[in-house]
């Protein structure tokens, strides 16, 4: 298989396996999605979904959150890890959203990436899932699978994102990012699930 043939097979098989792609982070609007994605850094989606109900009960909008003490935010989100940094970022980005954007999350990559605690991957998730703008958020899990499936020789997530965007149809980017995550969790885990030859996609694209 050529690299493009591998990509085409993967797109087709993932669509068969995961025709529906519910967003794994519970949220009600772009702001709560933004906060949830920020919290998910180095934390599981399951843990984030356990923590956010209490946080959003306390404050579910930038206007409310900016008035909550950082220590109170930190106490709630502690199970997610990195709570000192994340609580400060949530407080500061909420204030910025109110002061610069009228309390709305901007549908703009550059504006999002300027917010405290928001990197390119977080901005890409929000643009894709909250606003439907084509994006291909690449985390360490997608980076690992892209290398395992010989789609990208990229040394980091930024390079891998560029390779995947060239190989995959633009109109499928938003869905594919979730489909790859779902597949990796179910069939091609980092440890104990597949060593690059066991699961269906690995065995097909790697010629095993």
Q: pTM of whole model > 0.95?
A: no
pLDDT higher than 90, residue 191: no
131: pLDDT confidence band, cut at 50, 70 and 90? very high
Instruction: Report residue 133's pLDDT band, with 50, 70 and 90 as the boundaries.
Output: very high
Residues spanned by the domain of 72:
30-131
Catalytic one of 57, 60, 74, 121: 121
CATH code assigned at 35: 1.10.340.30
For residues 41 and 64, membership in a common domain is answered with: yes
Residue located via tokens 């999605």 = 33
101 and 13 belong to one structural domain = no
Supply the DSSP string of the chain, one letter for each residue. --HHHHHHHHHHHHHHH-S----SS--SSHHHHHHHHHHTTTS-HHHHHHHHHHHHHH--SHHHHTTS-HHHHHHHHGGGS-HHHHHHHHHHHHHHHHHHHTT---S-HHHHHTSTT--HHHHHHHHHHHH--------HHHHHHHHHTTS---SSHHHHHHHHHHHS-GGGHHHHHHHHHHHHHHT--TTTT-SSSSSHHHHHHTT-
Active site residue 121: yes
Q: According to the model, what pLDDT value does residue 127 have? A: 98
What tens digit of pLDDT does each residue of 142-156 get? 999 999 999 999 899
Share of the chain above pLDDT 70, in %: 100
Percent of the chain surpassing pLDDT 90:
91
Catalytic residue among 12, 45, 86, 139: 139
């Amino acid at each position: 298989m050529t690299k493009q043939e591998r990509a085409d097979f993967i797109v087709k098989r993932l669509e068969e396996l995961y025709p529906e792609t519910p967003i794994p982070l519970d949220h009600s609007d772009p702001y709560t999605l933004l906060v949830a994605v920020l919290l998910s850094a180095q934390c599981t989606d399951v843990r984030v979904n356990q923590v956010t109900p209490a946080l959003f009960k306390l404050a579910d909008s930038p206007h409310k959150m900016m008035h909550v003490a950082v220590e109170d935010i930190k106490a709630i989100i502690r199970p997610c890890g990195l709570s000192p940094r994340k609580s400060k970022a949530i407080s500061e980005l909420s204030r910025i959203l109110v002061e610069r954007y009228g309390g709305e999350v901007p549908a703009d990559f550059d504006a999002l990436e300027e917010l405290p605690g928001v990197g390119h991957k977080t901005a890409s998730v929000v643009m894709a899932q909250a606003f439907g703008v084509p994006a291909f958020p690449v985390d360490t899990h997608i980076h690992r699978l892209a290398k395992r499936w010989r789609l990208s020789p990229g040394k980091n997530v930024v390079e891998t994102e560029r390779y995947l965007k060239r190989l995959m149809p633009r109109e499928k980017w938003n869905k594919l990012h979730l489909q790859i995550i779902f597949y990796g969790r179910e069939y091609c885990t980092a440890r104990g699930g597949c060593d690059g030859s066991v699961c269906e996609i690995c065995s097909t694209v790697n010629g095993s």
